[in-house]
Structure 1
């Protein structure tokens, strides 16, 4: 079938020899990468220990929340999540204090971060005596095994060496069982961490449910398992078969009442809600969704829309207004020379006639204006039909938006103190509820939907699990002085970062459109736009001028729907 000649074989041998050298180079680069990762982790641990010692001394021995400032600063400096920063700091401390052999192998480049972290996690509950007995064998195994296999090997070594500690470790781990859901692109990942026996029992139930259809069902095995999992959550006893055969033996088993309609909260701009445009929508708890899915959810579920308006970011922050207010210089700029006409392409028209002129575009943000009432499925305007990709320049991403804000902050340092440093939102008189410490349900819902998650850099704790923080502190002695309980002075913070701000370790300022500027004691300045709204381009010709006056979103109505989230 194939004919090999001497020249081809010699060429193949030469290619293999060359690639062998490149594989050696790849291994060397991996060792260098591992060594640098070890130095990074150890430095994070050293900074954590330094902050911990300093905080304990200042607080008279109270260790609660001590060292948290270092974790927050690591997250900001490295641009990673709070969870990853905590992992770096915890591993760095453990390598310095408990795992000398692991530390040496990591620094030498023999171990990568994944294996070092696995050793740290699996041995966290061991006594110093047991750890000293096992660490050499653990490191030798780490040099030969992948992280998952290494974890199993470590657990087996612990059971053999100290069964009592293994049982205690298991009990501690069982107390950390949890269920969570997180977005994975356009899909969602539903994760349940269970005990060993619960996990096996749950898997058997899902497999049994998937087997309630006949063999002619059109779905693949994985899709069947997903449908079976959802059916179990709805309390159903069987799956409907999709074979579409009249003599299917499984049809009768699948007759059951319809499923309960979910309550979803969709963030959508007014134009999209009216069917005039097809901008992305935002599903609370998940993230951006396409207009087709938003339309389907609105037709098939009980939903509540959060109405937004597109504003130009530069105008909202006052940058454009400052440029427009500059006095005239009294001289007209010299007109630019007209370009030479393009050579005739043979059809009597210039080469650029087919390219329409696109105006320059700037980053924009959606600003929340009102919260809609609950609506049943249906009754939503159809979105306009579109064909092909969007014309014009691509949408503006969050990176460009943050860069624009950063340049504005560099040009005007006063801007970093916030647009309304008194915390009154530019209002002359306080609206209803502004002088109360706890926000009403409507205000809280607006803030949580706008933010989407904790507003500290790198933190992704969902807004529903966050506390509402007054950016400018609320004055309990004189509420009228400032720090009002209004949308423009509230933000979502998780317990960890709320405590950090309350202790004065970081400072936050609210700019226009809900943008927050964070400044640490180490001089780090970070910008976080709202996580529950979209960043888009806005044409300068369509930029609205929003006067600094009282508006409905600063004075929300009181809703008695019984859905007040925890404060």
Structure 2
């Protein structure tokens, strides 16, 4: 469709193209742009490397070690001037190009246009974060297989981090300590109009605790008619939690019938309740009695040690950190049938989904098991699905499953529950509210497969996308 040499002609082609061709045309153009940027980045690296080498070669060996930093600056400066890009971008390209020299499979996929520059950088930084990545012969294959899935870059980063923890738990703990030494900080800088910016790099458990406290305080004090943005509510909640004088979060709807109006007996010292996920509360009822104060964290753990532990509200963490947090955390123990070596991620080289599950949505059962004919799943069933599927199962979404709704893959029939899809783990999947609504629009039809992959088929074009149960 595009000629790439005549902007006017391409503009006309876009305006006249039938809708059936637009997706394919856009994909082809995106693929070409990725190929072009890959070549630009690697050419920029070679340009910078030549300048770097020339500067070192011009000096005697005794002085070479003294000028490596200026040689880096000269290389980055030359890339910036020759390509007309910022020093920061030039430095990023130079470093990525250098890292790709040691990752030949990822480099070839990048040149082929299979990866965007940002997605490639996620893989490179994961490989550089732990020495085991270069020592593990399958790491590039694992990374490329994960990158081929219809996931967001954030989900890919989380999956790669989980892989590295699984491959080398001790190395992951050392990397965490090294990152803390290099980056932990709180910086407060002046902004305009009587404001300042707070930029902080803090341990994951601290961030989870603070985010939950802020969310709990807002949920306790503010109704849905409050006119302020969520950002302003969070700032005021943070100020109250920090004890800033005169700062207290109250609802600003101004209505006498506001359900969040604080009673007169409420004091400034009253602390907000901590939000506790439903599945955690259910676990407590089934096990030991509830503690007097809600634990600050929730951990998902595997007692066999096969699966990497996860910090609810964050992602996978190394076992050493999990051991540190567990005495003060609510523990969700993975049931045996969900321990499937997920941390080993994939069988490298496998392509395509498994066979479809029972198309009736009855899970292969002749008679409905208890609860199958009730639309709302039990707390136990919901917990099982959430632990099996870690994120929203719609393509290119990374919403954590515990923040999602459960959707029946084969629609539940309220008029005749026997006829519709039943409420079973094999017929349920988490979906965030926006994607849940998209699914019900019917443009993409899901099919659950026997390995819990879901194949989404475009009802107009027949195109298929497969998501995985992570």
- The TM-score normalised by the length of structure 1 is 0.37
- The TM-score normalised by the length of structure 2 is 0.44
Indicate the structure (1 or 2) with the bigger Cα radius of gyration: 1
- Tell me: higher relative CO, structure 1 or 2? Use CA pairs within 8 A at least 6 residues apart: 1
Question: Whose helix fraction is larger, Structure 1's or Structure 2's?
Answer: 2
